[in-house]
């Protein structure tokens, strides 16, 4: 979850490192630090808080050099202090290290190093790691590749996950990196190289990247890149081209990335659809599944695995695929599936969803499914990500970079892909040609309808003003609106710190109704015509107990006048597209409430965008 950037080349490293770190700040913003080799000594600066604080300290104090590493932290071991911030230096000052991940056996290594006279100044596992490298560095005095060899030997003693970048005082022309379970990417520029935990830190400098696999160690020395595994077997680096417009990662005229990304959803959904409908427009088509129609017809069950917002997308996928394709679907938290021995039929297809393609629990669930011989697919938004490379096949979202920690356009992009997948699987089974035509026609209208939905931004702001001081909130929905209720509650919790829960509307009477009062607003997703009467009854039960109601309805099915305190109306749409349209007001309402409460919308406390540690 932390951000790593390293630079080696001919230019001044500090401005390049800090620029990359600003692009990675969504990965962690407890503290930040930078270390540069300057006058045969590793000079460094660390600051708690945001990267801007570090930038002022580093640039004002003249950190100068052409080799350096930096880091923005999401705390795992130890509190948020300058002592615990990265980079960490070895006791002798020779080696500096930045690290993303968790070293599970750090206490036993720390005990060993303490017996050798090593003193520790932080609470982190990373300081143990860098001193282990220094220990091996002293033992490898005769090795021609002393620094790289000391890192390689250290890694063989490490248990856990890591992405690292390291520099050495004695090696002004060398930088070393390695990964296991935590992403690391090498950018190949003109007479310069960068190492980063995310491609967004590199794209302003180069479009050529090498994605490291688990168990690989990279050394950049004297302008040359070498790649080996931990047994010293030489590997051939594979250079990929990154097609990414850096302006997509800029705020433009928007105050926050979250709002910008809400307004980008029409385009993101259009990109998810582009080229993915059949010529006769009766079905969807996907080029990267690597499974034939005959193989897919053999599927008896689908298992979705994901975390957080992506898990909510999976729940929507369950409703859609069971409705249109009649295939039984289960949804698992990836963090639970990886540790339990779930009985699965041999004809089960496992689909994982992760925006970043690096979510540690989702990756582990994918590997567990592959280990047991199940066919796997991935839906993700990051070309070259570990999950994309590990799965048998997959679907790329094409949503563009999502910087705001609270997912918006990535979520609705996932919903669109799942809607298309439901139609695709349905047409392989018993969904008729005419039904397929109607579904595709409805889905192709979604970008335009999303544009209409976001135009209610000002009206939703006025509703947010009424409820910004609430401390509790319930979200209610039925069928495929239940996952949207869960997602709405999550958004509100994430960025405004208001306690919120999502429930199936009919389940309210089985416990949650005890919470309802005038001080607990209830948001009801009353959008489905076939159960509209049931939803009206649920609203009346809420109103009878004095709670204010915010209702989300469709144009053709308004509520009886006066039933809701506030009503947000979304455009009429095909049933397969309804979860996408209903998501928009949930996002805007949460955004405006958080902003009115003075919260840091894009960088909510305790959260990071990409969860790469357990």
Q: How deeply is 474 buried, as exposed, middle or buried, from its count of CB atoms within 10 A (0-12, 13-18, 19+)?
A: buried
The side-by-side arrangement of strands in the sheet containing 160-168 is 88-89, 95-103, 160-168, 174-180, 216-221, 224-229, 234-235
- Within 13 Å, how many C-alpha atoms sit on residue 94's CB side? 14
Q: Enumerate long-range contacts of 140-144, CB under 8 Å, 24 or more apart.
A: none
* CA atoms of 381 and 374, how far apart (whole Å): 23
**Could you tell me if 508 and 535 are in contact, meaning their C-beta atoms sit under 8 angstroms apart?**
no
- 402 Rama sector, left if φ>0, alpha if ψ -120 to 50, beta otherwise: beta
* CA atoms of 569 and 92, how far apart (whole Å): 65
Buried b (16+ CB within 10 A) or exposed e, 388-418: bebbbbbbbbbbbbbbbbbbbbbbbbbbbbb
Strand 31-38 and strand 88-89: pairing?
unpaired
C-alpha dihedral, 509 to 511 to 517 to 521, nearest 10°: -80
Estimate to the nearest angstrom the gap between the alpha carbon of 314 and the chain centroid: 15
Q: How deeply is 562 buried, as exposed, middle or buried, from its count of CB atoms within 10 A (0-12, 13-18, 19+)?
A: exposed
Among candidates 87, 170, 101, 159, which has minimal Cα distance to 130?
87
Active site residue 609: yes
**Could you tell me if 154 and 136 are in contact, meaning their C-beta atoms sit under 8 angstroms apart?**
yes
- Mutual angle of helices 433-444 and 446-454, in 10-degree steps: 40
Active-site residue, selected from the candidate residues 22, 180, 493, 609:
609
Query: Three-state SS for 483?
Result: helix
Strand 208-211 and strand 185-188: pairing?
antiparallel
Sign of CA dihedral 128, 130, 133, 138: negative
Active-site residue, selected from the candidate residues 2, 305, 314, 573:
2
The side-by-side arrangement of strands in the sheet containing 499-504 is 499-504, 472-477, 522-526, 549-554, 566-570
Buried b (16+ CB within 10 A) or exposed e, 573-596: bbbbbbbbbbbbbbbbbbbbbbbe
What's the full length of the chain, in residues? Answer: 614
**Could you tell me if 165 and 175 are in contact, meaning their C-beta atoms sit under 8 angstroms apart?**
yes
Buried b (16+ CB within 10 A) or exposed e, 71-87: bbbbbbebeeeebbbbb
**Who's near 161: CB < 8 A, 6+ residues apart?**
101, 102, 180, 181, 182, 360, 612, 613, 614
Question: Which token pair is 428?
Answer: 């392989």
Is cis: bond before 87, omega within 30 of 0?
yes
Catalytic center residues = 2, 609
């Amino acid at each position: 979850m932390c951000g790593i950037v390293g630079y080696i080349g001919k230019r001044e490293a500090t401005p390049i490192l800090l620029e990359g770190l600003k692009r990675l700040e969504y990965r962690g913003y407890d503290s930040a630090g930078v270390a540069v080799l300057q006058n045969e000594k590793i000079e460094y600066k660390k600051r708690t808080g945001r990267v801007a604080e570090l930038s002022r300290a580093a640039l004002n104090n003249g950190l100068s050099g052409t080799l350096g590493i930096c880091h923005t932290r999401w705390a795992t071991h130890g509190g948020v202090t300058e002592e615990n911030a990265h980079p960490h230096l070895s006791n002798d000052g020779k080696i500096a290290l930045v690290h993303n991940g968790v070293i599970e056996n750090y206490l036993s290594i720390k005990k060993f190093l303490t017996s050798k006279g090593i003193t520790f100044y932080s609470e982190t596992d990373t300081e143990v790691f860098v001193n282990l490298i220094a220990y091996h560095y002293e033992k490898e005095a005769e090795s021609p590749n002393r620094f790289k060899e000391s890192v390689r030997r250290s890694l063989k003693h490490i248990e856990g996950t890591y992405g690292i970048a390291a520099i050495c005082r004695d090696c002004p022309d060398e930088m070393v990196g390695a990964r296991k379970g935590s992403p690391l990417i090498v950018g190949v520029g003109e007479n310069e190289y960068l190492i980063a935990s995310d491609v967004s830190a590199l794209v302003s400098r180069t479009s050529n990247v090498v994605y490291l696999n688990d168990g690989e160690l990279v050394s950049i020395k004297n302008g040359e890149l070498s790649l080996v595994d931990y047994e010293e077997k030489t590997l051939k680096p594979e250079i990929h081209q990154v097609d990414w417009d850096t302006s997509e990662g800029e705020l433009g005229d928007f105050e926050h990335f979250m709002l910008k990304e809400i307004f980008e959803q029409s385009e993101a959904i259009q990109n998810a659809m582009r080229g993915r409908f059949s010529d006769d427009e009766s079905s969807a088509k996907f080029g990267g599944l690597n499974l034939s129609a005959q193989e897919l017809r053999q599927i008896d069950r689908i298992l979705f695995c994901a975390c957080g917002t992506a898990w909510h997308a999976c729940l929507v996928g369950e409703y859609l695929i069971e409705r249109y394709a009649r295939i039984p679907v289960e949804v698992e938290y990836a963090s639970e599936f990886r540790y339990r021995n779930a009985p699965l039929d041999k004809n089960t297809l496992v689909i994982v969803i992760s925006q970043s393609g690096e979510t540690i629990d989702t990756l582990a669930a994918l590997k567990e499914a592959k280990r047991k011989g199940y066919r796997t697919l991935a839906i993700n938004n990051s070309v070259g990500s570990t999950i994309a490379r590990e799965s048998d096949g997959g679907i790329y979202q094409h949503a563009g970079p999502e910087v705001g920690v609270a997912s918006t356009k990535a979520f609705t992009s996932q919903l669109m892909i799942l809607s298309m997948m439901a139609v695709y699987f349905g047409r392989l089974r018993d969904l008729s040609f005419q039904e397929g035509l109607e579904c595709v026609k409805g889905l192709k209208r979604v970008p335009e309808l999303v544009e209409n939905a976001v135009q209610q931004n000002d009206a939703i702001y006025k509703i947010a003003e009424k409820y910004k001081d609430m401390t509790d909130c319930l979200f209610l929905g039925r069928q495929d609106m239940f996952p949207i209720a869960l997602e709405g509650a999550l958004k509100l919790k994430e960025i405004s710190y208001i306690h919120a829960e999502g429930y199936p509307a009919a389940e309210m009477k089985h416990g949650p109704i005890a919470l309802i009062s005038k001080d607990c607003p209830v948001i009801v997703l009353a959008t489905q015509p076939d159960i509209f009467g049931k939803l009206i009854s649920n609203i009346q039960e809420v109103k009878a107990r004095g709670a204010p109601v915010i209702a989300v309805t469709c144009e053709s099915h308004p509520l009886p006048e006066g039933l809701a305190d506030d009503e947000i109306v979304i455009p009429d749409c095909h049933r397969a597209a309804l979860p996408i349209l209903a998501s928009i007001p949930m996002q805007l309402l949460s955004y405006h409430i958080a902003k009115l409460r003075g919260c840091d919308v894009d960088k909510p406390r305790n959260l990071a965008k990409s969860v790469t540690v357990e």
